[in-house]
Amino acid sequence: MNNPQGISDLSPSASSRRPVSPCTGVCEIDSDSGFCRGCARTSDEIAIWSRAPDDLLRKITAVLPARRAHLGIKIARLDWDEEEIARFMRDTLRPGKGRWVFGIDGAFGEFAIGAGEQPEVKNALTVATQAGAMRLRLPEKLRAFAFEEGKAIVMALPRGRLQPPAGVTLNAAGPDQGAIREGDRDALAFELGFGSPVARVFVRTKDQALQKRLQELEGEPWQRVLAEAGQDIREGSADRIILTSVGRMEVYARFTAPDIRQPQDPRTELQAEAIAGGREMPGEIELPKAYAPCAIFYPAR
């Protein structure tokens, strides 16, 4: 298996199974090198992939990292099948492994388990800490991509597998029956309505004053909601809930100003200007257009 640098301790063990296709949906042959600008295979290698013997596919897979480096390709599909992706997910939900990021640019949350922290384990793919919780799932056709040789791992789906985008107004969703902690299931959740097909963002609170303020704004566009109640959300007792195709993230820690935030603090953002920009991923990572991002994992350094 092709393991990018920086995630060797998290990657599933090598397998004798047939390699998966490295296609990223960018199908353009570089005229100088003869390699595809998306997957770094030659046109002949692409043509024979579905019928070539496994040993030949492994030999091709082994040379792709060097070719990608030659072409300056920053993102590559990992040679992981469904079982290996599931194993990777389980391994990340352990102390000191790294941090998950769910959401869109301007509206996202982070979850990490500190090196000395003892999380509450609900099951193999669901854990909770004092700062937040994660519930991961494995949808059909999920793909794993490595960005810049393991700087980040992106979980993505073919764009056609996404659900229709959420609405663009505040929606009172009622008690959060899907909450990971049982004690949060009577708190009221409000979807902020950013209209994204890749992530739905909610705030959840038991604070009656904040509940009333948000109920008064139900049906209003998210721009007005953040303008009129954004400060109340940031300063009040409100959890942030982010749902994507690969699961649920809950952030319990309060919003922290950048100048006083500690490195271990989970970061969360609600920035109207960035949200309005419409980028599907926070940070500098971009996926090929054929794929939609579901989550990003940053391995611990």
Give pLDDT, residue 6. Answer: 43
Kindly state whether residue 240 falls inside one of the protein's structural domains: yes
Kindly state whether residue 253 falls inside one of the protein's structural domains: yes
pLDDT digits (tens, 9 = 90+) for 161-209: 988 877 999 999 999 999 999 999 999 999 999 999 999 999 999 999 9
- Domain of residue 242: give its range: 98-301
- Round to whole Å and give the CA distance between 92 and 300: 10
Kindly state whether residue 102 falls inside one of the protein's structural domains: yes
Kindly state whether residue 267 falls inside one of the protein's structural domains: yes
Kindly state whether residue 274 falls inside one of the protein's structural domains: yes
Mean pLDDT of 268-278: 89
Question: How many domains, the chain?
Answer: 1
Kindly state whether residue 84 falls inside one of the protein's structural domains: no
What is the pTM for the complete model shown?
Answer: 0.91
Kindly state whether residue 91 falls inside one of the protein's structural domains: no
